[in-house]
Amino acid sequence: MAATVTDFHYGAVTPVAAYLMACLGSALGLRCTVRSMRGGPRGKKNGWLSLAAVSLGCGIWTMHFIAMMGFRAVGSGIAYDTQLTLLSLVVAIVVTAVGVFLVGHLGSGAKVLAAAGVLMGLGVAAMHYIGMAAMRVDGRMRYDTVTVALSVLIAVAAATAALWAAVTVRNLWSSLGASLIMGVAVTGMHYTGMAAVSVHAGHTGATSAQSSIDQLSFLLAMIAGPVIMLVVAATIVMFDPDLVLGDEQRSAPGTDAVRRGTGPAAGLYAPRPEAVNTPVQHRR
């Protein structure tokens, strides 16, 4: 018999919190990727790309498991396999790293974006379903094939859009807007994948289920590390002026050029020619 399944056990709290974490990871990942493309030593570039991958991966993974806090199957308890749960985090970071490093080093050509987007999207979907495989229920989980395929397509589209935004959107406010859209896409992929799930109650010999409190405590413990990583990444971003300012602010006319006495606005501050070396005449 099919159990009644809900993804909103705590109402709007879990989807809103999941969406915000997806937005945070997307925003940090976009800004770090932008920073990596402003030149500098290769090692520093790779450092920014690595930070972008960790931010995006942790943001997506944290979004998934915050959303899973709201998952309940009436008549079936839920437990999680720790190793598979951690494996899903590794997959999220690794596949995101593949995508951002491909774009960061090979450019933003259509073929590169398409290849990187497909690899990254399939990896995000793999992270989601590995996380689902880590879940143990007193029953059998089944998936609707069409809905699963739709969730994978959304993941690929979201990943491609994220990579495109990372190499195209340079302005700070535009990046923030892109991260809000990315949050919708990533969270939408998760809930589309969850719509494919049905649970058929009945003991299957799986590990004993946790109580709701134990399940919540486990998930909170799991997401603590990635959340700390996101806080560290946010701190690095906030203290790097080149990351906070977009290209438009950095290259705004009348800033450094005016100070050097060059540029179109330099004449406003330069002394008039007739005033240079002109002796002062005194009235008698």
Q: Are residues 145 and 218 in the same domain?
A: yes
Q: Are residues 55 and 112 in the same domain?
A: yes
pLDDT tens string 220-260? 888 999 999 999 999 988 887 765 555 444 444 443 443 34
Query: CA-to-CA distance for 191 and 151, rounded, in angstroms?
Result: 8
Query: Which residues, in sequence order, are bridge partners of residue 6?
Result: 72
C-alpha triplet 103, 105, 108: angle, nearest 5°: 40
Q: Are residues 205 and 272 in the same domain?
A: no
pLDDT at 208 over 60: no
pLDDT category of residue 78 using cuts at 50, 70 and 90: confident
pLDDT at 59 over 50: yes
Q: What total of structural domains would you count in the chain?
A: 2
Q: Are residues 17 and 146 in the same domain?
A: yes
Q: Are residues 182 and 275 in the same domain?
A: no
pTM: 0.79
Q: Are residues 82 and 26 in the same domain?
A: yes
**Torsion on CA atoms 50, 55, 60, 65, rounded to nearest 10:** 120
Q: Are residues 118 and 182 in the same domain?
A: yes
Q: Are residues 164 and 225 in the same domain?
A: yes
Q: Are residues 178 and 279 in the same domain?
A: no
Q: Are residues 167 and 187 in the same domain?
A: yes
Task: Name the residue range of residue 281's domain.
Answer: 253-284
Q: Are residues 245 and 209 in the same domain?
A: yes
**What is the pLDDT, as a whole number, of residue 243?**
58
**What is the pLDDT, as a whole number, of residue 221?**
87
Q: Are residues 182 and 271 in the same domain?
A: no
pLDDT tens string 139-198? 788 999 999 999 999 999 988 988 888 778 777 777 788 888 889 999 999 999 999 998
**What is the pLDDT, as a whole number, of residue 106?**
87
pLDDT at 265 over 60: no
More confident residue, 48 or 41: 48
Three-class secondary structure assignment of the chain: CEECEECCCCCCHHHHHHHHHHHHHHHHHHHHHHHHCCCCCHHHHHHHHHHHHHHHHHHHHHHHHHHHCCCEECCECEEECHHHHHHHHHHHHHHHHHHHHHHHHHCCCHHHHHHHHHHHHHHHHHHHHHHHHCEEECEEEEECHHHHHHHHHHHHHHHHHHHHHHHHCCCHHHHHHHHHHHHHHHHHHHHHHHHCEEEEECCCCCCCCECHHHHHHHHHHHHHHHHHHHHHHHHHHHCCHHHHCCHHHHCCCCCHHHHHCCCCCHHHCCCCHHHCCCCCCCCC
